[in-house]
Chain A
Amino acid sequence: SQELEQSPQSLIVQEGKNLTINCTSSKTLYGLYWYKQKYGEGLIFLMMLQKGGEEKSHEKITAKLDEKKQQSSLHITASQPSHAGIYLCGAQSGYALNFGKGTSLLVTP
């Protein structure tokens, strides 16, 4: 089965700082999804990457999929308290998504 490893496990950054979260797969990715989860709530879709070298941005969040399609990174520029939460990467497996354990982000004033 495909395993996804996320790093770091948790992150505390000062407001305004940039940060990067990584997601590494044990197998080639045929669809990599990034979700955000606010504490105590469900998951919200951020973006999906399919092609090697692909990069997508939404507001201050940018996600990339490497050329070999086994690693993705999520970069947040000028972090804000609203960015706090758990970020999860998910890999497509048939109709379903299998997820990494998540990266917990806290943004301090």
Chain B
Amino acid sequence: DAGVIQSPRHEVTEMGQEVTLRCKPISGHNSLFWYRQTMMRGLELLIYFNNNVPIDDSGMPEDRFSAKMPNASFSTLKIQPSEPRDSAVYFCASSFPTGMNTEAFFGQGTRLTVV
């Protein structure tokens, strides 16, 4: 398997524009996670899905952020409108929890810069 695939790897956009980040989880994994990483706050969990259903979105910063998982092989994280403070690296991860083990496999991340 190619692992978790994220696109784009880099995104530069102007403030106020809509940004869509994409993720393809590992085939067979039924949990998907979106994280945001910044120097100040570290790696923060934004939202996670189990069997395509959002389970916990308490980490989503505000209504400008939305995430969808229309099927088991695709998810998007959308920011509309984007702001400079949204600049960060966004990671997608997937897992197949078994018993007490929930090892997550991470994508390479999307580095977002909002100017």
Number of interface residues of A (CB under 8 A): 23
Find chain A residues with CB under 8 A from B81 CB: none
Find chain A residues with CB under 8 A from B108 CB: 41-42
Question: Which residues of B49-104 have CB atoms within 8 Å of chain A's CB atoms?
Answer: 50, 55-56, 91, 93, 95, 97, 100-104
Find chain B residues with CB under 8 A from A88 CB: 42-43
Interface of chain B: mostly helix, strand, loop or mixed: strand
Question: Which residues of A66-100 have CB atoms within 8 Å of chain B's CB atoms?
Answer: 88, 90, 92, 94-100
The verdict on A95 contacting B107 (CB below 8 Å), with A30-B100, A88-B43 known, is: no
Find out whether the CB atom of B42 lies under 8 angstroms from the CB atom of A31: no
Number of interface residues of B (CB under 8 A): 26
A interface residue numbers (CB < 8 A to B): 30-31, 33, 35, 41-45, 48, 50, 88, 90, 92, 94-102
The verdict on A100 contacting B42 (CB below 8 Å), with A42-B108, A92-B100 known, is: yes
Find out whether the CB atom of A99 lies under 8 angstroms from the CB atom of B43: yes
User: What is the distance, in angstroms, from A21's C-beta to the closest C-beta of chain B?
Assistant: 14
B interface residue numbers (CB < 8 A to A): 4, 31, 33, 35, 41-43, 45, 48, 50, 55-56, 91, 93, 95, 97, 100-109
Find out whether the CB atom of A96 lies under 8 angstroms from the CB atom of B48: yes
User: What is the distance, in angstroms, from B95's C-beta to the closest C-beta of chain A?
Assistant: 7
User: What is the distance, in angstroms, from B47's C-beta to the closest C-beta of chain A?
Assistant: 9
Find out whether the CB atom of B48 lies under 8 angstroms from the CB atom of A95: yes
CB nearest neighbor in B for A102: B42
The verdict on A95 contacting B97 (CB below 8 Å), with A41-B109, A42-B108 known, is: yes
The verdict on A48 contacting B56 (CB below 8 Å), with A96-B45, A99-B43 known, is: no
The verdict on A50 contacting B100 (CB below 8 Å), with A95-B48, A100-B42 known, is: yes
The verdict on A94 contacting B56 (CB below 8 Å), with A31-B101, A48-B101 known, is: yes
CB nearest neighbor in B for A31: B100
